Amino acid sequence: MRKSAGRIFAIGLLKSLLFFVLFTLISVSSYKLFMHFYGIEDNDVIAAIPSDNKHAIIAEPQIDVVSKHLIYCVDEETGDIMKLVLEIFDCERLMLNYITIPVKTQITLSDSLHKELVLIKPSIPGFLKLSAITGYMPKETVYEYGVRIIEELLDINISYYSVVPQSIYDTVFETEAINQKSKSRQSADNTYPREVFSDGFLKNLHTINTETQLYNYIEELYTKINSNLTFEEKLNYMESYMNIPGRNIRFEVIAGTDSNSGYIIDKTSVDLQLKTYLGE
Confidence of residue 259 (pLDDT cuts 50, 70, 90): confident
pLDDT in tens, 77-135: 999 999 999 999 999 999 999 999 999 999 999 999 999 999 989 999 999 999 999 99
pLDDT in tens, 6-33: 555 556 656 555 655 555 555 545 545 5
Residue 175, H or E segment: strand 173-175
> How far is residue 169's CA from residue 100's CA, in Å, rounded to a whole number?
13
Can you name the residues that pair with 100 across neighbouring β-strands? 85, 253
| DSSP summary character for residue 117 | H
User: 111-118 and 5-38 are packed helices; what angle lies between their axes, rounded to 10 degrees?
Assistant: 160
| DSSP summary character for residue 145 | H
Confidence of residue 192 (pLDDT cuts 50, 70, 90): confident
Whether residue 207 is predicted with pLDDT greater than 80 in this model: the reply is yes
What pTM did the predictor assign?
0.78
> How far is residue 86's CA from residue 17's CA, in Å, rounded to a whole number?
58
